[in-house]
Structure 1
Amino acid sequence: MTNESYTMVQTEFADPAPLRAPPPDKRLVVSIHDVSPTFALPIAMLAERIEAILGGPRFAMLVVPDHWGAARLDQSPAFVRRLRDWADAGVEMFLHGWFHRDSSAHRGGASALKARYMTAGEGEFLGLDAVEAEIRMRAGRDMVEQAIGRSVAGFIAPAWLYGPGAHAALKACDFALAEDHFRVWQPRTGAIVARGPVVTWASRSPARTASSLAVAAAARAARLDADDARCGPSRRRHQEIAADQHRPHAEHARRTPHRVALCRSGRRASPVGDGGMKIVDVCAFYTPTGGGVRTYIDRKLVALADRGHEIVVIAPGEEDRQEQRGPNARVRWLRSPRFPLDRSYRYFADREALHAMLDEEDADVVEVSSPWRSASMVADWRTRSGSHARLSLIAHADPLSAYAYRWFGNVASTQAIDRAFDWYWRHLRRLDAQFDHIVSASESLTQRLRDGGLRKVTTDPMGVEPGQFSPRLRDPELRREMLALCGLGEDALLLIGVGRHAPEKRWDMVAQAAAIAGTQAPVGLLIIGGGARQRRVIDAIGDNPHVRLLEPVRDRGALARLMASADALIHGCEAETFCFVAAEAIASGLTLIAPDRGGAADLACANDGALYRSGDAQDAAEAILAVAGTIETSAQRRRPVRTMDDHFDALLALYGAGNDTAIDHTRRYQQGTGR
């Protein structure tokens, strides 16, 4: 590393008073770690700032060829061009592992401790044998050198952790330089170029932050005194300060005019204060076979991590295990029993085990998706533990609509049912008192909750996956094929329905409505989904050749093409808190046919859709026929589309704005009329 700049960093990371230049035997070397297409934008922003501070491209980049197996350098031509520009300008390029992820089984006690406590599962080269290490080093060097058009300056292992195999591979590959926690050396000869400790700040939890600060302060003071006493002018020394920016601490870096390694450049500036938050989502509805909630959580794991936060989802599962979804995103499965009313789901039954997980994670914000026992468990945890975490109930479920209103709606009014289930409203009001936020995804649900006596309800509509659903995906040939599957020609109305076969989805009623409408106009219906309650749907279809069941489509791109190639989406469930599939249909340019209650109704009203009386097949058939007469002018209409990322940005703003601020972004989506 050749950077010999003594320029004081004049940013929020530096004291305003100038410092005198260090003596000639000391070096300030600045490097950006984890350089990958995954973090393209924040890397560019960080590089621009560093270049301005240092007066030129006098720093190093540590490049990861295939970060976490999801971002190959050779498949990102735009980022490769930018990387070559930096190299051409003088930025030194180091190879920084291959995956930057540790998949080894560590047998020795010392190695296991290093892998667990010195890196968050990223010490890739600690447990590799010499053969595998050399393969990754050579392949990584070839990929990076092809990208930058020159030789790499050296190799630095992720987390600075090397096993015996990595040391042997380094010598075999003949890298010019390598670096660990205490030295820079030449692998071929073993000659030490510079000495100095890495002072690492880990900030995944308050406890680790506090211990890191204490150790860093002691190590800096001790090492500086000792080295200043014994280092002669002929010996170089360096000190590297590694800032793990899970939660950046500007004050820590302000005190460090030594060698600075800026790790985790993939964190964006947080929209809430100076640092990122750690958010734990206790999500009882997350399951590998789920629908809207699974889509929502999968996107959340990406979006919140991209915004500089750490996100952990705790979900009930078949066994206790952890699943890493990225550098700052994890799913922790807690062994739990199946839910009796729908065995595709599980529920949290072990209060102590859930509390132990929450203690371990030590989050800034804890979210809960279910209003049932998991919400009470989390509220009890905060009281018991004395945690200062903020609690947020995300209303993914509306049990009264899903069960009570559907079961008793034919014999009693909604008001009468609410009175009969006043125990449930009292439960919700207790949660309202215990939680800091109640987040509703639709205005109609917000109003019902407020009418029921809840005071902390905020409306934050959810949305669709960014860039996934669009009218541009409409394929006339695919539409012809789908209609042919229904035994109809191109002049027929093609309806699509998407969702699991659960009683509250009312697919049997939807199939009956399509059959009734089909007696007056050619109507085809494809129902995409699966589930244990499929028999009622099959019985409702009978021998109608114009209604077809399709297996669930897990490929989101394929689903987007199917949806865009239909004419309208029909939905049967009045218990949706938002209705992701309805939003996806609107984004695809379709007309929405929905029951007159719930989140789907809100979306239909805001986007010129058609409403029918909930649970009424005859009225749904009339809505289908009304849409059939207007479909040619409405099928390709482009409408304003709210994305999931819009929802997450509003959610983060809410968490950073304080308890008295309610973020409501629904007005632009509440315009329009229903049938």
Structure 2
Amino acid sequence: MSRLVIVDYNNFWSPSGGGVRRYHLERMKFYKDKADALLVFVQNDGKTFTEKISDSLIIEHTKAFRFPGNWEYRFLWKNADLKVALAKYNPDIVEVGSPYILPRAVSKACKGMPKPPILTGFWHADFPVTYVRRFFEKWKMPRIAKITESVAFAYARFEYKNYAKIEASCDEVLERMNRFGFSKERLDWIPLGVDLETFTPTARDENLVDELKDGDPNRLTIFFPHRFCDEKGLRLFLEAYPILVEKLGSEPAVLFAGTGPDLPRVQEAAQKFKHIRYEGFIHGEAEMARHYASVDLGLALSGWETFGLSILESLACGNALVAANTGAAAEHLTKSGAGVLLQTRTPEALADAILQISKMNLAELKQNAEAYATKFSWKNCFEKQFSLYQKLVQG
């Protein structure tokens, strides 16, 4: 078989984005020296030009509409823009990573090609639940939440109706997609990965450990590197913290890193409590790993993760975990045996879950976390995905 040509579109790409950006960067690393494939990543940009990285990796920077306001996302949908890479590379496979408008637009752009490519999608965001159902649930409208969730899934089925495969990284998400009308034959589980050379317990910095423990070797230490917003459990944790202090009889040390709409709440907490620190934005994977590996506990409080790259990075560094009881967070926690599920989303329940971990064998939980994470690597992820592509092309 001649080399496989893959063209990749995704309106979720952002130069400072999180999980989706990491997925594409690692995907490009995998294909950079792959002799039996050519990956063309259509990167939404402020101008149009071709960047050849290697014989097997090309980035087609394409001028795209930028959302107004403080956003770095650009939206590609015009037929003429989509057709450029299709006509230039005549791909065997096209992957679309965002579910709004783009899947149907790409499908339309492929019509009339001498050899139409096989279309695949990656379900990076479980939008009918995360952005639709949750919105109405927060406003105490459960019936409308269910109706709009069904409508959103109907829209997704319409967008992806010409797609041979839809990939997702969470069993719960795949089961829900099947329940809402996606046939099992069209769904495939592709777990994402983690850089196991960088995210490892050996990244531990004893100086940072000593700073956080602050003279108390039994002080519990926690790292929160998630977006500062309600979805990630920021407010829930801040409300649980004083309860936890009372139950433990001492202040756990907490490192916050990153930013988000609730940044003022983090800064206020850092001023109020001696052992809460705000680290700002941490640059580089090695620095992230150093922080992960220097604490006892990670928090995965979002119940709507489709894989949770930060969860796996935390586990790979040997962190015990308190996790939401739904989505990828629950899946990782249950399979790893590395901590405690948060059964109810209340400050009291979260404080109790963290307290429970403090009384468990922390060394054993850390061993469970690391052992589980080593099952995942980016190499395994993309080899599994490439094998799927080959089977689709071979029929």
> TM-score w.r.t. structure 2 length?
0.88
**Alpha-carbon separation, structure 2, partners of 1:329 and 1:545:** 49
- Rounded Cα–Cα distance in structure 1 between residues aligned with 2:137 and 2:93: 38
- Counterpart residue number, 2:371: 639
Post-superposition CA distance 1:136-165 (Å, at most 9, x none): xxxxxxxxxxxxxxxxxxxxxxxxxxxxxx
Give the unaligned 5+ runs of structure 1.
1-273, 662-675
Matches within 5 A, 1:180-199: none
Residue 47 (structure 2) pairs with residue 319 (structure 1): yes
1:428 deviation in Å?
A: 1.7
Is 1:336 matched with 2:74?
no
Per-residue deviation, residues 19-54 of structure 1 (Å, max 9, x unmatched): xxxxxxxxxxxxxxxxxxxxxxxxxxxxxxxxxxxx
Residue of 263, 273, 276 corresponding to 2:3:
276
Higher helix residue share? 2
1:567 is aligned to 296
Tell me how far 1:370 sits from its aligned partner: 0.7
1:553: how far off?
2.0
Choose 632-641 or 618-627, whichever is displaced more: 632-641
Whether 1:500 aligns to 2:192 is no
2:264 to 535, 558, 573: 535
C-alpha deviation, 1:594, in angstroms: 1.6
Deviation at 1:475, TM superposition (A): 3.2
**Once the two structures are superposed, what CA deviation does each residue of 1:373-414 show, in whole Å capped at 9, x if it has no partner?**
21221122123546421111111111133323332224244x
Bigger relative contact order, structure 1 or 2 (CA pairs below 8 A, ≥6 apart): 2
Q: Is the 8 A contact 2:157 2:182 kept in 1?
A: yes
1:429 aligns with 2:161: no
Match of 1:214 in 2: none
Distance 1:320 1:501 in 2: 34
1:378 matched to which residue of 2? 106
Indicate conservation of the 8 Å contact 1:310/1:328, yes or no. yes
Matched position secondary structure for 1:314: strand
Q: Which amino acid aligns with 1:467?
A: E
The aligned amino acid for 1:476 is: E
Q: How high is the TM-score relative to the length of structure 1?
A: 0.53
In 1: Cα distance, 2:165 partner to 2:91 partner: 16
Q: Aligned partners of 1:541, 1:558: CA distance in 2, in Å?
A: 21
- Residue 592 in 1 paired to residue 326 in 2? no
Q: Provide the secondary structure at the position in 1 that maps to 2:192.
A: coil
- The answer to whether 1:359 aligns with 2:87 is yes
Structure 2 unmatched runs, 5+: none
Q: How does 1:168-247 map to 2 (within 5 A)?
A: none
Deviation at 1:622, TM superposition (A): 1.8
TM-fit CA distance, 1:469: 1.4
3-state secondary structure, aligned to 1:573: coil
The residue that corresponds to 2:202 in the other structure is 472
Q: Do the aligned residues in 1 keep the contact of 2:128 with 2:153 (CA within 8 Å)?
A: no
Report how far residue 328 of structure 1 moved. Answer: 2.2
Distance 1:364 1:585 in 2: 36
1:377/1:443 CA distance change after superposition, 3 Å: same
Distance 1:507 1:366 in 2: 37
- Identify the range of structure 1 (461-470 vs 355-364) with the bigger mean alpha-carbon deviation: 355-364
Residue 294 of structure 1 aligns with an amino acid whose one-letter code is R
**Is 1:513 matched up with 2:244?**
no
User: Is 2:132–2:152's contact at 8 Å kept on the other side of the alignment?
Assistant: no
CA distance in 2, matches of 1:450, 1:651: 20
Per the TM alignment, residue 447 of structure 1 is displaced from its structure 2 partner at its CA by 0.5
| Number of residues of Structure 1 aligned to a counterpart in Structure 2 | 384
SS in 2 for 1:592: strand
1:483 is displaced (CA, Å) by: 4.1
After TM superposition, give the deviation of residue 539 of structure 1 in Å. 5.2
Equivalent of 2:353 in 599, 614, 623? 623
Q: Secondary structure at the match of 1:519?
A: helix
Partner residue, 1:122: none
Q: Which residue of 2 aligns with 1:579?
A: 308
Report the counterpart of residue 448 of structure 1 in structure 2. 176
Contact conserved, 2:83 with 2:110, CA < 8 A, in 1?
no
Partner of 1:673: none
1:653 aligns with: 387
**Structure 1 CA distance for aligned equivalents of residues 271 and 134 of structure 2:** 24
Q: CA deviation at 1:636?
A: 4.2
Q: Which amino acid is 2:366 matched to?
A: A
Matches of 2:68 and 2:160, distance apart in 1: 27
The AA in structure 2 aligned to 1:379 is S
Preserved CA contact (<8 Å) 1:574 1:596? yes
